[in-house]
């Protein structure tokens, strides 16, 4: 997360950034990014607004998951407000890019509100057939993983194991 947070800070230096954390899974990853950006800020000690990043946070939840399933973008519910995104630099933080359905829907909705910029950060980009059909890759990716089941670092199994500070991959 440190390398990613430093790059985010450099990319948005001198700008205001709205970080949209997709909850509940993205909370832990969002916190890691926040802490690493604060550490970087302490390290470089910006002397002016042009050397700093002004960050605001928005926590959002998409409702489409039942027992770790995903019905597709037409079933993802986005209740967004245009004023949250219009004219802003937006970074959507999500713990995992799995099927791609929820992020595809969210990106479509946010883009319709005319942000200045819209980027995504994923801790894990899962390699699977469903997300390949969207041909989308995040702007910031922690790492790629095989099409297996992950838990920890915000990823859960029916709401269990989300609190683990590490990621476990099940092959069964």
Strand partners of residue 21: 59, 93
| Residue entry with tokens 């595809």 | 104
Is 71 tagged catalytic? no
Of 42, 52, 98, 156, the active-site residue reads 98
Catalytic residue set: 98
């Amino acid at each position: 997360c440190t390398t990613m947070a430093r790059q985010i800070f450099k990319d948005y230096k001198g700008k205001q950034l709205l970080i949209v954390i997709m909850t509940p899974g993205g909370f832990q990853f969002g916190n890691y990014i926040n802490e690493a950006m604060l550490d970087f800020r302490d390290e470089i000690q910006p002397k002016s607004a042009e050397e700093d990043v002004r960050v605001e946070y928005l926590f959002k939840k998409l409702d489409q998951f039942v027992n770790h399933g995903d019905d597709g973008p037409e079933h993802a519910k986005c209740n967004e407000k245009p004023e949250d995104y219009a004219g802003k630099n937006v970074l959507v933080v999500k713990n995992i890019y799995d099927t791609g359905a929820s992020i595809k829907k969210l990106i479509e909705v946010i883009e319709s509100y005319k942000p200045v910029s819209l980027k995504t950060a994923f801790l894990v980009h899962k390699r699977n057939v469903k997300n390949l059909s969207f041909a989308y890759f995040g702007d910031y990716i922690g790492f790629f993983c095989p099409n297996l089941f992950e838990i920890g670092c915000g990823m859960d199994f029916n709401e269990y194991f989300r609190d683990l500070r590490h990621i476990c991959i099940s092959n069964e």
